[in-house]
Chain A
Amino acid sequence: MTDSKYFTTTKKGEIFELKAELNSDKKEKKKEAVKKVIASMTVGKDVSALFPDVVNCMQTDNLELKKLVYLYLMNYAKSQPDMAIMAVNTFVKDCEDPNPLIRALAVRTMGCIRVDKITEYLCEPLRKCLKDEDPYVRKTAAVCVAKLHDINAQLVEDQGFLDTLKDLISDSNPMVVANAVAALSEIAESHPNSNLLDLNPQTINKLLTALNECTEWGQIFILDCLANYTPRDDRESQSICERVTPRLSHANSAVVLSAVKVLMKFMEMLPKDLDYYGTLLKKLAPPLVTLLSAEPELQYVALRNINLIVQRRPEILKHEMKVFFVKYNDPIYVKLEKLDIMIRLASQANIAQVLAELKEYATEVDVDFVRKAVRAIGRCAIKVEQSAERCVSTLLDLIQTKVNYVVQEAIVVIKDIFRKYPNKYESVIATLCENLDSLDEPEARAAMIWIVGEYAERIDNADELLESFLEGFHDESTQVQLQLLTAIVKLFLKKPTETQELVQQVLSLATQDSDNPDLRDRGYIYWRLLSTDPVAAKEVVLAEKPLISEETDLIEPTLLEELICHIGTLASVYHKPPSAFVEGSRGVQHKRLPGSAGSVESPDPGAAATETPPAVIPSQGDLLGDLLNLDLTPTTTTGPPPPTTSGMQMGAMDLLSGGLDSLVGLLHQGPPSLSASPSTTTASLYFLFFPSTLLVTSVWVAQDVCGHVSAQVWLPAMKAKGLEISGVFVRRAGVIQMEMTLTNKAMSVMTDFAIQFNRNSFGLAPAGPLQILTPLSPNQSIEPLNNLQVAVKNNIDVFYFSCQYPISMLFVEDGKMERQVFLATWKDIPNDNESQFQIKDCHLNSDAASNKLQSSNIFTIAKRTVEGQDMLYQSMKLTNGIWVLAELRVQAGNPNYTISLKCRAPEVSQCVFQNYEAVLKN
C-alpha cells in the first residue's frame, strides 16, 4: 500500500476528477477519492467545493471510509453549515448503532462540528450516550459535554448535562471517571465561582480510588484535579498525601510531576514538626532526580519545575548538586536550565565542585551557555562569601583568555561583586581597565564606567578613561549615557580641580543635546545640585550604597506560590502566571497555596480553593485596566502630605519644591512660576514638567473650600468618599497646567495622595518620559480626544474620573507657519482631511478675531479680502507636532463665520473647531 501517492497530485481540473470519482459506484474508487481529498486538505488545499459529494459517501458500512468522511466534516462543516445538516441523519442513526465503537464515533465527531443546527440535534443522542451501558461510549460522551460547553455553554446548563457529568464521577469504570473529571475541570475553569467541581471528602475518596485503576492519562487528569482541592485539616491532608505518594514511581513523568504538585501543595498544611512531613520531604527528591533521565524535552520541563521547587523548598534537593552537572550531549536548553539550578543549590559545602564545573563550562562552545556560566561564577561569589576570592581569581583567569564575550560578561559580574564586597577586590581594577577598548556591549560598558566612577580616586587616569567615552556620547545607549553622566559627576566631586571642564561637557551633552528625558532630568538635577550646594551634592551622589542582596533573580514570592500550584503545566515552564499567556477567561483564576497548619484562621474548606485575591476593579474594560496597572504605592508621609506622583524619578519632594523657582527660570527663561494662592490651611505643591507634558498644580485643602471661579467639578464628593476634585486646565508661559482643587468634605484627614493619568491621545502625563505619540487611531473617536482619565489616590481609596481639557492648551507658542510652507502643506494634505464648520452669532471683525485667536496660540499667517469677504489663513501646532491649518472666512455684517480645517490627523478637527467657537464667543 503506497498512500503517499495521494500527496503528489497537483494537476489542474483535479477537483472535477475527484468529484467524478467520489460519485463512482465502485466502493474502492470512492475510498481512494476520499483519501485524495483528505491528503489535499492536509497540505492546505481548499477542497470545500466537494462537500456534498464527500458527505454522500458517509452512508457506508466501511468504518475506515466513514472515519475519513467524518474528518472532512470536522474540517469544513463550519464553512458550509447548510450542507452540514445533511450529515445529521447519519449521526443520529449511528448513535443508535448496536456497535459501541460506532456509537462512540458518532457522538465524538458530532461534538467537533461547530454548527448550531447540528448542536441542537446532538442533545438527545448525547443524553443517551451519557447513560450508555458501554463504558467506551460513556467516556466519549463525557468529553463531548466539554466540547458542547465550548460551543454553547448555556445549552449545556439548560439541558442538565452538568449534573449527569457530576454523576459520572461515581461511575464504576475508572476511565469514565477520569474523563468526567477532565471535562468538569475544564468547564469549571471558565466559571471560576460556580462550585461545579464540588470537591468534598467523599468525591476525593472516589477520585483516589479511581487513581489506582485508570490509565496513565487518567491519573494525570485526576491528580491535576486533586491539586485544586483544599483539605479541611492536616489529617486529611496527610491521608491524601499518603495515597498519592505511590504515583511517584510511575514511569510516566507527567504522572510524577502532577503527584509532586499535589504533595507540594498539601505539604503546606502539614505541621513542620510532624514526622510525616520530614518523610515526605525525603521522598520527593529521588523521583525528581529520576526525571532527569527522561528524554531531553521532558528534562527541560522537569528542570523548569525543579527550579521553582528549589526556590520554595531548598531542603529537598540540597544534597543532589551533582545530578545537575551538565553532560556533553545535553541539548543547550537543558544545559542552561541545569546551570540555573546549580547556582540555586550552591552552598559553602559544595562550592568548590561547583566552581570547578563552572570554569569548565566557561570554555565551552555555545556563546549563551558560556556567558551564563561566567555570570554564574559571579553569582556564586555573591552567594557564598567564603568563595568570593576564588571566584574573583577565576574571573580574572577568564579575562586573560581575551575572548571578547567572556571578558564583557566577567566585567558585568565583577561590578556586582564590588557592590557586595566593597573595598576588597579593587586591586583587580587595573586588569579590568586594560580591556576597556574591547567592550562593545552596553551592559559591559556601563559596568566598566560605573567601576571607574566609583573608584575614581584610585585610578590615576580616570578622567582620561571617561573622556574617551564622551566623544561618541550620542551613539551610546541610554544605559551607558546615564552611567557616564553619573560617573563623571562622581569623578568631579572627588577630584574637582582637574575635571571641571569634563563635567561641564557632560552636563551640557546630557541637558542640551539629548532627547532622552531621563538623561535630561538627571543632568539637570546634578547641575542644580552642583551649582547650589556642592556639599549636599557630595552627600547625595557619593552616598554609601546599600549592599546588594544575595539572590537577585528569585521569583517574587506570591508568583512563586501561584506557580507551585501550576507544577507540570505550561505556566511552570514559562515561569509566568497563566493569565500572561492564555486568552480569555480560562486559567485567569489565580491559584494560591493553602495556609499552613496551625494558623489561627485555617482556610474555609472548599472556599479557599476557588478564592481569588481581590482585584481592585476587575474587568471594567481595558482603559481602567491600564490605570490599575499603574503603581500607586502609598508613601509613608504623614501630616499634610505632598501629593506624590508615582513614576517620578526624582523621589524627594523637598528637592523639587525648594529649587523649583530657579529651575523654572533655568529651563524656560520665561516668567518663573505661577503664583499659587496658599491660604493658611492650604499646602501646595507644584510639579514641573517639560513642554508637552502637563503641569499639575494641586492644592490640598483641609476642611475648607477654596475653588477657582471657572473650575469644573470633575469628581463630586459623593462619588469619592468625601474627596471632591474640581479643576481647570490652563496654558501659561508655554506650560500646560492642570489646576486642581482637592477638597476634603469628609470628617477624617486624608493623606497619601498620588495621581496618575491613563494613557491619552496627546501623551499628557504628570511625570516620566515624554511619550512618543502614536498616530491617532480612528477607533479612539468614541471618546473625545481631549478626554483625560485620571486616578487620584489617597489613604482611603483610589478614585477614577475623567475630564476634558480644552485643546487650545496644547497649542504651542511656535505655531506660526511660514507662508510658503503653509501653501505647500495646504496643498499637500489630501482634501479628504478637510472639514468645514460654521460658527454662528459671532460679532467680531476679522482683526479682532485674529487678535483673540492669537492669544490662544492660533496664528494668522495671511489675510486676503475677496469680494468683501475676509479670508484669514491660520496655523497652530499641537504639542505632539501635529499642525492644523485653518481658513477662516469672515463676511462683514454676517455673524456667521465659515471655517475650514485641514490637518493630517483629521480626528482633531472637531476639537479645534469647538475651541474656535469657545475663543471667539468668549
Chain B
Amino acid sequence: MIGGLFIYNHKGEVLISRVYRDDIGRNAVDAFRVNVIHARQQVRSPVTNIARTSFFHVKRSNIWLAAVTKQNVNAAMVFEFLYKMCDVMTAYFGKISEENIKNNFVLIYELLDEILDFGYPQNSETGALKTFITQQGIKGQTKEEQSQITSQVTGQIGWRREGIKYRRNELFLDVLESVNLLMSPQGQVLSAHVSGRVVMKSYLSGMPECKFGMNDKIVIDKQGKGGASDDAGKSGKQSIAIDDCTFHQCVRLSKFDSERSISFIPPDGEYELMRYRTTKDIILPFRVIPLVREVGRTKLEVKVVIKSNFKPSLLAQKIEVRIPTPLNTSGVQVICMKGKAKYKASENAIVWKIKRMAGMKESQISAEIELLPTNDKKKWARPPISMNFEVPFSPSVSKGPHLEGLGFKFNVGAHKTPL
C-alpha cells in the first residue's frame, strides 16, 4: 500500500510530507526531488522507480503530488487516490497552489490522517469529511451528532449527510460533451468519438431517492446484451447508441446492470453523475477548415472557415475558436467576418470569439503571422485547432445536434422531508 505521500512546490521544496510505512525513509523525499523534479527532461513516465522505491506522481499547476511505495500496490488505485486528494483539497480551500497549501498545511495533515490509514484509502467524499474535519474542533457535538457522523463516514451512503434541508428543492442538470476528431491531412475523418458528462447540481432535502431514466431512443451498446443492437436497427435513425458509460459511486450498479435504470441517492451540491462515450453516427456540429500557407521563412498565412452543420432553427452560443501559432511569432494581423479575434501571445494562439451563430451558416477568419527568424531546426508541430460552444438546453436537444433526441426523464421521488 501507499507508504508515504509528499507534496512539493516547483522548486522541489517539500510542503507536506506524511509517511505511513516504516520502509519509506526521509531519503525518499530527496530521491524524488533529485531524480524527477530536478531532472531536465520532460516526464517520461508517471511511475518512477528509484532504488526499489516506486513514486507515483501527478502535477497540478506548479505543485507535485507524489505517492511512494515499496510494495506491489494497485497502481490504478494510487492514481485515483491522488486525483481524489486533489479534489478534496480543492473542495476545502480552492485552487491547489503553493500559497494555499502552506496556508492550510494543518488541515491537509488532518485530511491525510483521515483519508489514508496505513496507506489504505478510506472514505474520501468531501460531503462526509466536511462534517467532522472542520478546523474547529469537535467538542461541541452531542453524542447523537457524533454517532451520526461515524455512521455516515462508514455507512453505505458515505457521500451524503442526513438532515439536509432546503426551502426550495432544486436540481440542475448539464450535459457536457467533447467531440474528439482525428482527421487525415486529406480531410478524411480517421476517428471521432464523443465523450459526454452528465453533471448535476442537486439541492434537495432529506435522503431523496432519485431515478434517472433514459428514453427508449438510447441504446447502450454493451455488445453483450444480444438483443440491443437489433432493436436499434428496428427503431431506425432515432436511436442513439452509447458505447459505454460509467457512473458516480452513488448509482446502484447492479440495478443498472439488471434493469437498465439509474437509481441513486445523490450527493449534495455539484457532482458528475455519469460519463458516456459514443462513436457511432456522429454528426459533427461544426466543420472547421483550416488553410495554412508558409510565405518564406518569416511569414505564415492562416485561413480558417467554420461551417455550422445543424438545423437553422438552432442557435449555438459563446463560440470560441482557438488557433495555435508558432512559438516564434512576432506579430499577427487578423481579419474576421464575424465576432472578435485577438492574438494572445502568452497562450501562443489566436482566440476568435463569436457570440452566437445559427445553423447552416458559415464564417471565416484570416490572419497573417509574422515570424522571427530562428535557427531552430525543429519544425512547428502544428497543434490542433480547438473549438468550444454551447447549445442551450431544450427538451429535445442537449448539446451538439448529434445528441438530438437524447432525452432524460427525471424523477425525484420518495420521502421529501417536511419543512
Are B103 and A569 interface neighbours, CB within 8 A?
no
Residue of A nearest to B159 (CB): A215
Are A140 and B117 interface neighbours, CB within 8 A?
yes
Residue of B nearest to A63 (CB): B137
The contact of B223 among A245, A283, A295, by CB within 8 Å, is A283
Stretch at the interface among A470-478, A570-578, A608-616: A570-578
Are B123 and A215 interface neighbours, CB within 8 A?
yes
Enumerate A112-138 residues with CB–CB distance to B below 8 Å: 112, 114, 134-137
Using A4-B99, A63-B138 as known contacts, say yes or no to A290 and B222 having CB atoms under 8 A apart: no
Residues of chain A with a CB closer than 8 A to B143's CB: 98
The contact of B132 among A101, A296, A322, by CB within 8 Å, is A101
Q: What is the distance, in angstroms, from B384's C-beta to the closest C-beta of chain A?
A: 5
- Most chain B C-beta atoms within 10 Å of own C-beta, residue among A214, A297, A329: A297
Q: What is the distance, in angstroms, from B211's C-beta to the closest C-beta of chain A?
A: 17
Stretch at the interface among B12-20, B199-207, B350-358: B12-20
Q: How far is the CA of A243 from the CA of B215 in the complex (A)?
A: 26
Are A252 and B249 interface neighbours, CB within 8 A?
yes
Using A257-B76, A582-B72 as known contacts, say yes or no to A39 and B275 having CB atoms under 8 A apart: no
Residues of chain A with a CB closer than 8 A to B77's CB: 217, 220, 254, 258, 568
Stretch at the interface among B51-59, B289-297, B338-346, B360-368: B51-59
The contact of A99 among B122, B146, B244, by CB within 8 Å, is B146
Q: How far is the CA of A285 from the CA of B182 in the complex (A)?
A: 21
Contact with A along B180-195 (1 / 0, CB 8 A): 1010100000110101
Count A-B contacts at CB 8 Å.
Answer: 296
Are B249 and A249 interface neighbours, CB within 8 A?
no
Q: How far is the CA of A604 from the CA of B44 in the complex (A)?
A: 44
Are B74 and A254 interface neighbours, CB within 8 A?
yes
Task: Judge if A286 is at the interface, Cβ distance under 8 Å.
Answer: yes
Stretch at the interface among A18-26, A171-179, A542-550, A790-798: A171-179
Task: Judge if B89 is at the interface, Cβ distance under 8 Å.
Answer: no
Residues of chain B with a CB closer than 8 A to A245's CB: 257
Task: Judge if A556 is at the interface, Cβ distance under 8 Å.
Answer: no
Using A100-B150, A175-B154, A246-B256 as known contacts, say yes or no to A3 and B104 having CB atoms under 8 A apart: yes
Enumerate B20-61 residues with CB–CB distance to A below 8 Å: 20-23, 26, 29, 42-47, 49, 52, 54, 56-58
Task: Judge if A630 is at the interface, Cβ distance under 8 Å.
Answer: no
Task: Judge if B92 is at the interface, Cβ distance under 8 Å.
Answer: no
Residues of chain A with a CB closer than 8 A to B275's CB: 251, 290, 293
Using A249-B256, A573-B47 as known contacts, say yes or no to A71 and B109 having CB atoms under 8 A apart: yes
Q: How far is the CA of A140 from the CA of B222 in the complex (A)?
A: 39
Are B244 and A287 interface neighbours, CB within 8 A?
yes
- Most chain A C-beta atoms within 10 Å of own C-beta, residue among B80, B83, B224: B80
The contact of B254 among A111, A212, A583, by CB within 8 Å, is A212
Are B15 and A250 interface neighbours, CB within 8 A?
no
Task: Judge if B171 is at the interface, Cβ distance under 8 Å.
Answer: no
Are B110 and A250 interface neighbours, CB within 8 A?
no
Are A4 and B103 interface neighbours, CB within 8 A?
yes
Contact with B along A61-95 (1 / 0, CB 8 A): 11110011011000100000000000000000000
Q: How far is the CA of A212 from the CA of B146 in the complex (A)?
A: 26
Q: How far is the CA of A247 from the CA of B76 in the complex (A)?
A: 15
Q: How far is the CA of A174 from the CA of B121 in the complex (A)?
A: 15
The contact of B45 among A2, A4, A295, A333, by CB within 8 Å, is A333
Task: Judge if A375 is at the interface, Cβ distance under 8 Å.
Answer: no
The contact of A570 among B75, B226, B254, by CB within 8 Å, is B75
Stretch at the interface among A298-306, A486-494, A512-520: A298-306
Q: How far is the CA of A583 from the CA of B155 in the complex (A)?
A: 36
Using A175-B123, A217-B120 as known contacts, say yes or no to A286 and B223 having CB atoms under 8 A apart: yes
The contact of A150 among B22, B184, B190, B246, by CB within 8 Å, is B22
Enumerate B160-193 residues with CB–CB distance to A below 8 Å: 180, 182, 184, 190-191, 193
Residues of chain A with a CB closer than 8 A to B124's CB: 215, 217
Q: What is the distance, in angstroms, from A273's C-beta to the closest C-beta of chain B?
A: 17
Task: Judge if A147 is at the interface, Cβ distance under 8 Å.
Answer: yes
Are B156 and A136 interface neighbours, CB within 8 A?
no
Task: Judge if B408 is at the interface, Cβ distance under 8 Å.
Answer: no
Task: Judge if A143 is at the interface, Cβ distance under 8 Å.
Answer: yes
Using A38-B109, A282-B223, A301-B76 as known contacts, say yes or no to A247 and B253 having CB atoms under 8 A apart: yes
Using A212-B253, A573-B75 as known contacts, say yes or no to A279 and B14 having CB atoms under 8 A apart: no
Residues of chain A with a CB closer than 8 A to B156's CB: 174, 213-214
Contact with B along A584-616 (1 / 0, CB 8 A): 001100000000000000000000000000000
- Total interface residues on A, using CB and 8 Å? 116
Task: Judge if A204 is at the interface, Cβ distance under 8 Å.
Answer: no
Task: Judge if A7 is at the interface, Cβ distance under 8 Å.
Answer: yes
Are A252 and B80 interface neighbours, CB within 8 A?
yes
Residue of B nearest to A281 (CB): B224
Using A63-B139, A64-B106, A252-B80 as known contacts, say yes or no to A217 and B121 having CB atoms under 8 A apart: yes
Residues of chain B with a CB closer than 8 A to A759's CB: none
Q: What is the distance, in angstroms, from A768's C-beta to the closest C-beta of chain B?
A: 28
Are B224 and A43 interface neighbours, CB within 8 A?
no
Residues of chain A with a CB closer than 8 A to B394's CB: none
Are A297 and B56 interface neighbours, CB within 8 A?
yes
Q: How far is the CA of A873 from the CA of B221 in the complex (A)?
A: 92
Using A290-B246, A297-B56 as known contacts, say yes or no to A568 and B75 having CB atoms under 8 A apart: yes
Contact with A along B374-409 (1 / 0, CB 8 A): 000011010110000000000000000000000000
Residues of chain B with a CB closer than 8 A to A571's CB: 72
Residues of chain A with a CB closer than 8 A to B249's CB: 215-216, 250-252
Are B76 and A578 interface neighbours, CB within 8 A?
no
Are A325 and B190 interface neighbours, CB within 8 A?
yes
Residue of B nearest to A305 (CB): B76
The contact of B72 among A3, A99, A570, by CB within 8 Å, is A570
Are A100 and B147 interface neighbours, CB within 8 A?
yes
Q: What is the distance, in angstroms, from B402's C-beta to the closest C-beta of chain A?
A: 17
- Most chain B C-beta atoms within 10 Å of own C-beta, residue among A212, A243, A249, A568: A249
Task: Judge if A327 is at the interface, Cβ distance under 8 Å.
Answer: yes
- Most chain A C-beta atoms within 10 Å of own C-beta, residue among B74, B132, B274, B275: B74
Task: Judge if A331 is at the interface, Cβ distance under 8 Å.
Answer: yes
Task: Judge if A289 is at the interface, Cβ distance under 8 Å.
Answer: yes
Contact with A along B119-161 (1 / 0, CB 8 A): 0111111000000100111110101001101110111101000
Task: Judge if B272 is at the interface, Cβ distance under 8 Å.
Answer: yes
The contact of B184 among A146, A175, A356, A573, by CB within 8 Å, is A356
Are A333 and B43 interface neighbours, CB within 8 A?
yes
Task: Judge if A621 is at the interface, Cβ distance under 8 Å.
Answer: no
Contact with B along A503-517 (1 / 0, CB 8 A): 000000000000000
Residue of B nearest to A105 (CB): B113
Residue of A nearest to B275 (CB): A251
Q: How far is the CA of A898 from the CA of B124 in the complex (A)?
A: 78
Task: Judge if A364 is at the interface, Cβ distance under 8 Å.
Answer: yes
Are A64 and B137 interface neighbours, CB within 8 A?
yes
Contact with B along A153-188 (1 / 0, CB 8 A): 000000000000000000001111001001000100
Q: How far is the CA of A253 from the CA of B246 in the complex (A)?
A: 10
Enumerate A245-275 residues with CB–CB distance to B below 8 Å: 245-247, 249-254, 256-258
Are B244 and A290 interface neighbours, CB within 8 A?
yes
Task: Judge if B252 is at the interface, Cβ distance under 8 Å.
Answer: yes
Enumerate B52-109 residues with CB–CB distance to A below 8 Å: 52, 54, 56-58, 69-77, 79-83, 99, 102-106, 109
> Could you list some 10 contacts between A and B, CB below 8 A?
A38-B105, A67-B109, A150-B21, A215-B158, A216-B249, A217-B77, A249-B247, A283-B223, A293-B275, A298-B79
A interface residues with partner B (beta carbon < 8 Å): 1-4, 6-7, 35, 38-39, 42-44, 61-64, 67-68, 70-71, 75, 98-101, 104-105, 108, 111-112, 114, 134-137, 139-140, 143-144, 146-147, 150, 173-176, 179, 182, 186, 212-217, 220-221, 224, 243, 245-247, 249-254, 256-258, 279-280, 282-283, 285-287, 289-290, 293, 295-298, 300-302, 322-323, 325, 327-329, 331-333, 353, 356-357, 364-365, 566, 568-574, 578, 581-583, 586-587
Q: Sort A-B residue pairs by CB-CB distance and give the 3 closest, nearest first.
A: A4-B102, A286-B244, A136-B150
